[in-house]
Amino acid sequence: GAVVSQHPSWVICKSGTSVKIECRSLDFQATTMFWYRQFPKQSLMLMATSNEGSKATYEQGVEKDKFLINHASLTLSTLTVTSAHPEDSSFYICSALAGGVETQYFGPGTRLLVL
Amino acid sequence: GDSVTQMEGPVTLSEEAFLTINCTYTATGYPSLFWYVQYPGEGLQLLLKATKADDKGSNKGFEATYRKETTSFHLEKGSVQVSDSAVYFCALSRNSGNTPLVFGKGTRLSVIA
């Protein structure tokens, strides 16, 4: 149990376009989801905390208008990278937290390459 | 702010060798400490955790002890297998795991037969 999926697993897009990444909890309801970003040979860095039915909380330095997060249901959170630029190329990973359980379940990640 | 430092890889070992991956942390108070593992093509999985000083987390032959005096949480395994080849992440959390994690950079382990 406790499986989290991400779609797509990788995406290549042109500069200036928008890309949507989905994070789904497949067999449990996630009241909270976290979005992380990982650059090559760097740590996973928290971008934002997404709570179902409310606005996401962004970490300092993360542009909320550029990285739009929507947590519309207890099983789905989406991250939209708007007007993507090459510097947005990275590995994006989500994790989901089930209510009452103190363990984060991670998705397999989405690799984004902006040309 | 909080931070985690772990040894850089890649680490290459022969099967049945002893493994140590060092991890130290900087945090105020008493964070919870974790080791996550990421197998190729998969998401991060919790390997083990410890929530207070001197606790030892263990799973699948891996162990790590929460050492507050040295602010360390080194991962060890007595005899590695090829199937242990993966990337290992040390992490901390202000609470037991329901708050965002602060990760180290990850250490890639390759075990050869």
User: What distance in Å separates the CA atoms of residue A19 and residue A80, rounded to the nearest whole number?
Assistant: 5
Best to test chain A binding among B32, B94, B103 (most A CBs inside 10 Å): B103
Lowest mean pLDDT among B7-21, B63-77, B96-110: B96-110
Q: Say whether pLDDT at A1 is over 70.
A: no
Q: What is the mean pLDDT of residues B50-60?
A: 94
Mean pLDDT score of chain B: 92
Cα–Cα dist A68/A55, whole Å = 10
Residue A100 pLDDT exceeds 80: no
Most confident of A30-34, A63-67, A102-106: A63-67
Contact B90, B75 (CB under 8 A): yes
Average pLDDT, chain A: 91
Tell me: pLDDT of B109 over 70.
yes
Q: Which residue of A has its CA nearest to B47?
A: A103
Mean pLDDT of the region B54-75: 96
Provide the percentage of residues in chain B whose pLDDT is more than 70. 97
Residues of A in contact with B44 (CB under 8 A): 93, 95, 106
The answer to whether B75 and B60 are in contact (CB under 8 A) is no
CB contact under 8 A, B98 and A106: no
A44·B103 Cβ contact <8 A: yes
Residues of A in contact with B43 (CB under 8 A): 4, 6, 93, 105-109
Q: What is residue A98's predicted lDDT score, i.e. its pLDDT?
A: 76
Cα gap A64→A84, rounded to integer Å? 13
Instruction: Give dist(CA A49, CA A94) in Å, integer.
Output: 10
Per-residue model confidence (pLDDT) at position B10:
94
Cα distances (angstroms) measured from residue B41 to each of A2, A34, A107, B91: 17, 20, 10, 20
pLDDT at A101: 66
**Which residue in the block uniquely carries the two structure tokens 């860095």?**
A45
The residues facing B109 across adjacent strands are B11, B86
Query: Is B104 close to A43, i.e. CB distance below 8 A?
Result: yes
Model pLDDT, residue A9 = 94
| CB-count exposure of residue B87 (10 Å: 0-12, 13-18, 19+) | middle
Greatest distance between any 2 Cα atoms in chain B? 43
Residue B98 pLDDT greater than 80, yes or no: no
